[in-house]
């Protein structure tokens, strides 16, 4: 088949599936939150509220789009599509099964980190363009937090790269299929790397307990304060897409991706992604929000030196055990 057509088809399929998953991820989250807080969650639209995401999307589409008079119109309108574009684009290199991935880049891991690293820009652009003090404060926190946790995130993802000797995500998965999953194989090292990766990626995504940028009790709604209707919805969507992609990336880098006995690769990959994503969900609805200074301390005083030490340990392991 024509490679352009082939690539376009894959991209359409992956983006469509991802956006559908995102829509119903909001339903799962609201049901989950409801159960945690002893209520029912959405029940009215469709059977057990299953059509709620569609109703939400229709509502957001119809809402009046208000741009504050004091805002910078161009930047204000540019930020929401940019944030959702970057969040979706990270999914391009995630292997869902041996053959099912949009693009097998040989620098796949670096690509994900680079594109998700760019996600601080739309947040900052939107908040600065809003000309709102709450938005600016929230965005400053978001940027400080994102770039701080970028460092341990990068070092933690270097460890699978080091162990598998490749930067391609599918290459890392294939290595784990042959040599064992990284979560358990260099005993302790893989687990520590995954723990750092998990905490840092949650913080990057501004999920509770790391959601000080949005802290609704002090900053109204953080960077998205001035956004209405679908533009607000796009920020919200980007956060969900990113959380799913990060769960999929964690599954691929540390839990062997599509590798598993007895079932097709796609089933294993989906199962692992859903489990990881549900864990972030559980943390979100049971933990309290950290203060900004506590979060900065956690990152700079603990995660950064810890990730450096784990990286050194992984290098030593490769040298001593594998005899490289």
**Span of 253-261, 263-271, 282-290, 316-324 interacting with other proteins by CB under 8 A:** 316-324
Burial of 170 (0-12, 13-18, 19+ CB in 10 A): buried
The verdict on 179 binding other proteins (CB under 8 A) reads no
The verdict on 305 binding other proteins (CB under 8 A) reads yes
The verdict on 289 binding other proteins (CB under 8 A) reads no
Give φ, ψ of 153 to 5 degrees: -60, -45
From 95, 14, 17, 15, select the one nearest 258 (Cα to Cα): 95
Cβ at position 297, least distance to other proteins in Å: 7
The verdict on 67 binding other proteins (CB under 8 A) reads yes
The verdict on 103 binding other proteins (CB under 8 A) reads yes
Contact 125, 78 (CB under 8 A): yes
Residues 229-268 within binding reach of other proteins (CB under 8 A): 229-231, 233-234
Pick the binder of other proteins from 7, 45, 271, 306 (CB under 8 A).
7
Tell me the three-class secondary structure of 255-316, residue by residue: CCCCCCCCCCHHHHHHHHHHHHHHHHHHHHHHCCCCCHHHHHHHHHHHHHHHHHHHHHHHHH
Cβ at position 46, least distance to other proteins in Å: 21
Taking residues 24 to 63 in sequence order and writing x for each that binds other proteins by CB under 8 A, - otherwise, the string is ------------------------------------xxxx
Q: Which is nearer to other proteins, 169 or 269 (CB)?
A: 169
The verdict on 286 binding other proteins (CB under 8 A) reads no
Q: Which is nearer to other proteins, 89 or 199 (CB)?
A: 89
Beta carbons within 10 angstroms of residue 287's beta carbon: 12
Total residues at interface with other proteins (CB under 8 A): 93
Cα gap 310→133, rounded to integer Å? 40
**Span of 48-56, 245-253, 271-279, 312-320 interacting with other proteins by CB under 8 A:** 312-320
Q: Which is nearer to other proteins, 178 or 293 (CB)?
A: 293
From 124, 152, 116, 118, select the one nearest 247 (Cα to Cα): 116
Q: Which is nearer to other proteins, 69 or 288 (CB)?
A: 69
Residues 125-154 within binding reach of other proteins (CB under 8 A): 128, 130-136, 140, 143-144, 147-148, 150-151, 154
Pick the binder of other proteins from 83, 116, 170, 280 (CB under 8 A).
83
The verdict on 68 binding other proteins (CB under 8 A) reads yes
Q: Which is nearer to other proteins, 189 or 230 (CB)?
A: 230
Cβ at position 39, least distance to other proteins in Å: 28
Q: Which is nearer to other proteins, 102 or 215 (CB)?
A: 102
Cβ at position 308, least distance to other proteins in Å: 5
Evaluated on CA atoms 103, 176, 306, 322, the torsion sign reads negative
Contact 96, 18 (CB under 8 A): no
Cβ at position 279, least distance to other proteins in Å: 26
């Amino acid at each position: 088949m024509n490679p352009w057509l082939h690539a376009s088809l894959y991209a359409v399929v992956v983006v469509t599936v991802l956006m559908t998953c995102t829509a119903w991820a909001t339903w799962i989250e609201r049901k989950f939150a409801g159960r945690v807080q002893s209520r029912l969650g959405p029940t009215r639209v469709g059977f057990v509220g299953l059509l709620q995401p569609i109703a939400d999307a229709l509502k957001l589409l119809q809402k009046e789009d208000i741009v504050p008079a004091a805002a910078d119109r161009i930047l204000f309108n540019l930020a929401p599509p940019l944030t959702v574009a970057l969040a979706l684009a990270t999914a391009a290199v995630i292997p869902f099964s041996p053959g099912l991935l949009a693009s097998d880049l040989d620098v796949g891991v670096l690509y994900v980190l680079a594109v998700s690293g760019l996600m601080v820009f739309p947040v900052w652009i939107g908040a600065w363009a809003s000309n709102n003090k709450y938005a600016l404060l929230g965005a400053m926190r978001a940027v400080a937090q994102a770039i701080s946790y970028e460092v341990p995130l990068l070092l933690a993802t270097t460890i699978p790269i080091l162990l598998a000797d490749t930067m391609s995500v599918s290459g890392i998965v294939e290595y784990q299929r042959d040599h064992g999953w990284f979560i358990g194989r260099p005993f302790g090292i893989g687990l520590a790397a995954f723990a750092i990766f998990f905490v840092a990626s949650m913080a990057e995504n501004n999920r509770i307990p790391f959601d000080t940028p949005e802290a609704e009790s002090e900053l109204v709604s953080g960077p998205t304060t001035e956004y209405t209707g679908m533009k607000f919805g796009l920020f919200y969507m980007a956060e969900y897409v990113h959380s799913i992609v990060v769960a999929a990336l964690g599954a691929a880098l540390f839990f062997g991706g599509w590798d598993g006995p007895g079932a097709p690769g796609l089933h294993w990959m989906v199962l692992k992604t859903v489990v990881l994503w549900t864990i972030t969900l559980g943390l979100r609805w049971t933990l309290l929000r950290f203060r900004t200074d506590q979060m900065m301390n956690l990152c700079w005083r603990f995660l950064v030196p810890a990730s450096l030490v784990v990286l050194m340990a992984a290098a030593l392991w490769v040298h001593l055990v594998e005899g490289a």
